[in-house]
């Protein structure tokens, strides 16, 4: 079975091309918000794997206004592509975790930028409410609105171990609140957190498929500098089972086969900057190289997204 782009799964770039009929670029933004497991509301220290410097571009600083960050991001990307549209991507930390009036003000500032056609908002499932969902549903009548929840695991024991300070039940409740409101709902998962077996990981695919999600971001566990997990790896390496590239590719093809076939897979891996990455080291293998190997492995195993979905 083949999907768009000669793939064996629903790929994000095909979805974007079909939806917008032109190139679209995300511009990352930093609001300066924090998280409830950092500020003491639910916990301190944040998630044990988290270092936001692994994905924030240079222009992305909360000392700058949303408009300035957008202008600088657009100036950077427009050098390569002259004609394209932009999505404002509220990425760092928890982008709904602030006074509701401030949240609305920042979203309005972004959506009113003349070159922005939509918002992508990353947040935690325990940091939304009916007022916020109602506001975003209103924006979704005229703009592309994507709301992404960091799920990370469907196992409460894992969520507790990584200091997420929320449960999978809260995740399910968040999607229930946000579904059928005109928004695209996304999910983010880390594959290979400590203590999770292959069977646990494959069961994530089954649990994710029950949620009303449109898009899914996957990435393998990476241990980066200046995190609690970096200390744990040094002191208790036996609790970690870090995949080789070959092991991950083999596992992720089985994972894809269990996924609901209409879910759009936005990514399979994340690339942390080399100067921050501790492990695993995949000899500098790039994202596109991993994707090519996944495509090849799906063909070799005669698998496709949804083949084993029940």
- 77-107 pLDDT, tens digit per residue, is 988 877 689 999 998 878 888 899 999 999 9
**Max CA separation in the chain (angstroms):** 52
Buried b (16+ CB within 10 A) or exposed e, 265-299: bbbbbbbbeeebbbebebeeeeeeebbebbbebbe
**pLDDT of the residue at 3:** 84
Tell me if 62 sits within 8 A of 30, measured CB to CB.
yes
The pLDDT confidence band at residue 119, using thresholds 50, 70 and 90, is very high
| Tally of residues, the chain | 310
Q: Judge whether residue 111 has pLDDT over 70.
A: yes
The pLDDT confidence band at residue 290, using thresholds 50, 70 and 90, is very high
Question: Residue 62: how many CA atoms within 13 Å on its side-chain side?
Answer: 12
Q: The whole model's pTM is what?
A: 0.94
273: left (phi over 0), alpha (psi -120 to 50) or beta: beta
Of 4-13, 35-44, 182-191, 220-229, give the range with the top mean pLDDT.
182-191
Q: How far apart are CA 213 and CA 94, in angstroms?
A: 19
The pLDDT confidence band at residue 55, using thresholds 50, 70 and 90, is low
Q: How far apart are CA 213 and CA 162, in angstroms?
A: 23
Q: How far apart are CA 8 and CA 2, in angstroms?
A: 5
Q: How far apart are CA 107 and CA 248, in angstroms?
A: 37
Q: Judge whether residue 222 has pLDDT over 80.
A: yes
Bridge-based pairing state of the strands 85-90 and 24-29 = parallel
What domains sit in the chain, N to C, each tagged with a CATH number?
A: 4-300 (3.20.20.70)
Other CB atoms within 10 A of residue 42 CB: 16
| Average pLDDT estimate for 100-128 | 95
Q: How far apart are CA 154 and CA 3, in angstroms?
A: 27
| DSSP codes, 41-109 | SS-BS--TT--GGGT--TT--TTS-HHHHHHHHHHHHHTT-SS-EEEEEE-SS-TT-S-HHHHHHHHHH
Q: How far apart are CA 121 and CA 123, in angstroms?
A: 6
> What does the block give as tokens for 25?
């670029």
What does the pLDDT look like over 135-180, one tens digit per residue? 999 999 999 999 999 999 999 999 999 989 899 999 999 999 999 9
């Amino acid at each position: 079975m083949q999907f768009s782009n000669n793939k064996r799964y629903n790929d994000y770039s095909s979805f974007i091309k079909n939806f917008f009929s032109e190139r679209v670029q995300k511009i990352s933004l930093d609001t300066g918000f924090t998280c409830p497991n950092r500020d003491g509301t639910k916990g301190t220290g944040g998630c044990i794997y988290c270092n936001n410097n692994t994905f924030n571009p240079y222009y992305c600083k909360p000392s700058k206004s949303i408009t300035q960050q957008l202008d600088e991001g657009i100036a950077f990307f427009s050098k390569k592509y002259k004609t394209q549209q932009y999505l404002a991507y509220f990425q760092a930390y928890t982008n709904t975790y602030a006074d509701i009036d401030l949240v609305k003000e920042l979203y309005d500032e972004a959506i009113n930028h003349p070159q922005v056609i939509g918002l992508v908002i990353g947040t935690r499932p325990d940091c939304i409410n009916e007022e916020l969902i109602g506001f975003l549903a209103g924006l979704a009548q005229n703009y592309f609105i994507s709301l992404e929840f960091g799920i990370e695991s469907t196992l409460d024991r894992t969520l507790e171990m990584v200091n997420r300070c929320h449960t999978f039940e809260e995740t399910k409740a968040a999607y229930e609140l946000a579904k059928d409101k005109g928004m695209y709902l996304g999910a983010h998962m880390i594959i290979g957190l400590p203590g999770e077996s292959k069977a646990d990981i494959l069961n994530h695919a089954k649990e994710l498929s029950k949620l009303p999600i449109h898009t899914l971001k996957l990435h393998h566990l990476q241990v980066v500098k200046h995190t609690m997990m970096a200390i744990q790896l040094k002191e208790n390496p036996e609790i970690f089972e870090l995949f080789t590239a070959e092991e991950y590719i083999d596992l992720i093809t089985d994972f894809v086969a269990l996924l609901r076939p209409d879910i759009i897979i936005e990514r399979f891996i994340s690339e942390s900057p080399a100067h921050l990455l501790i492990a695993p080291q995949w000899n500098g293998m790039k994202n596109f190289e991993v994707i090519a190997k996944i495509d090849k492995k799906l063909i070799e195993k005669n698998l496709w997204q949804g083949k084993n979905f029940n």
